[in-house]
């Protein structure tokens, strides 16, 4: 009887729990769709937890120095994202897709003046694709194109950087 109980207990797989998946830092370029050739410098941080193929993440992204029709633009956004692993080979490569929402602030001021920044805020809907390729042990190089939709404008960014996976 005891051996039967032990066999049954060993046959039931342990339930996977939420755990820290990765932290990342990225650099790249971004633009407001009003004038796509006005590209600015973008910096972002993100962290995510994972359970199986499901991922929940948070990110902060800031873009500066976009010049559109005599004005200098900046964008800041904080998003909460839900994602899925499309391709997951933990040893070499991962491809993840995310959708989320958050706070979006777009600021501008005329170029060459001392005027104050004028800001508009909105809720944004963000779509993100992340491709990660292993460089060394837990260190991955990652590329992620993003698009954020909101009531004032559409914002695009393309980033590359490093991810540390746990």
* Residue 142 in domain: yes
For residue 25, count CB atoms less than 10 angstroms from its CB and return exposed for 0-12, middle for 13-18, buried for 19 or more: middle
Residue 6 domain-assigned (yes or no): no
Question: Residue 160: inside a domain, yes or no?
Answer: yes
Q: How far is CA 85 from CA 2, 90, 119, 125, 141, in A?
A: 40, 11, 36, 20, 17
- Tell me which of 17-21, 64-68, 71-75 is least confident: 64-68
Please check whether residue 1 lies inside any domain of the structure: no
133 or 108, which is more confident?
Answer: 133
**11 within some domain:** no
pLDDT of residue 69: 67
Q: Cα separation of 52 and 84, whole Å?
A: 9
Residue 13 lies in a domain: no
Does position 9 have pLDDT exceeding 50, yes or no?
no
- Nearest 5°: phi and psi at 106? -115, 125
Question: What band does 89 get if pLDDT is binned at 50, 70 and 90?
Answer: confident
Question: How far from chain centre, in Å, is Cα 82?
Answer: 10
Per-residue model confidence (pLDDT) at position 96? 95
- Is the per-residue pLDDT at 15 higher than 80? no
- Give domain status of residue 154, yes or no: yes
Pairwise CA distance, residues 10 & 72, whole Å? 63
Q: Is the pLDDT confidence value at 84 over 60?
A: yes
Domain span at residue 159 reads 18-165
The count of domains in the chain is 1
Using pLDDT thresholds of 50, 70 and 90, give the confidence band for residue 13: low
pLDDT digits (tens, 9 = 90+) for 23-71: 999 999 998 887 666 788 999 999 999 998 899 999 999 998 777 667 7
Q: Is-above-0.85 flag for pTM?
A: no
> Is there a domain that residue 45 lies in?
yes
Average pLDDT for 81-110: 91
CATH number of the domain where residue 91 is located: 2.40.160.20
Confidence of residue 5 (pLDDT cuts 50, 70, 90): very low
- How far apart (Å, rounded) are the C-alpha atoms in residues 127 and 26? 16
């Amino acid at each position: 009887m005891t051996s039967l109980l032990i066999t049954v207990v060993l046959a039931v797989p342990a339930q996977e729990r939420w755990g820290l998946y990765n932290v990342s830092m990225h650099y790249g370029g971004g633009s407001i769709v009003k004038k796509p050739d006005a590209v600015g410098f973008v910096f972002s941080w993100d962290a995510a937890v994972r359970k199986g193929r499901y991922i929940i993440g948070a990110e902060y992204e800031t873009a500066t120095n976009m010049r559109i029709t005599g004005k200098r633009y900046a964008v800041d956004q904080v998003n909460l994202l839900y994602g899925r692993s499309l391709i997951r080979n933990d040893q070499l490569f991962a491809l993840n897709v995310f959708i989320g929402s958050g706070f979006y602030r777009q600021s501008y001021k005329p170029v060459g003046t001392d005027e104050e920044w004028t800001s508009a805020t909105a809720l944004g809907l963000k779509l993100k694709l992340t491709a990660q390729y292993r460089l060394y042990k837990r260190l991955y190089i990652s590329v992620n194109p993003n698009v954020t939709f909101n009531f004032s404008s559409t914002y695009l960014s393309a980033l590359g950087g490093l991810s540390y996976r746990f």
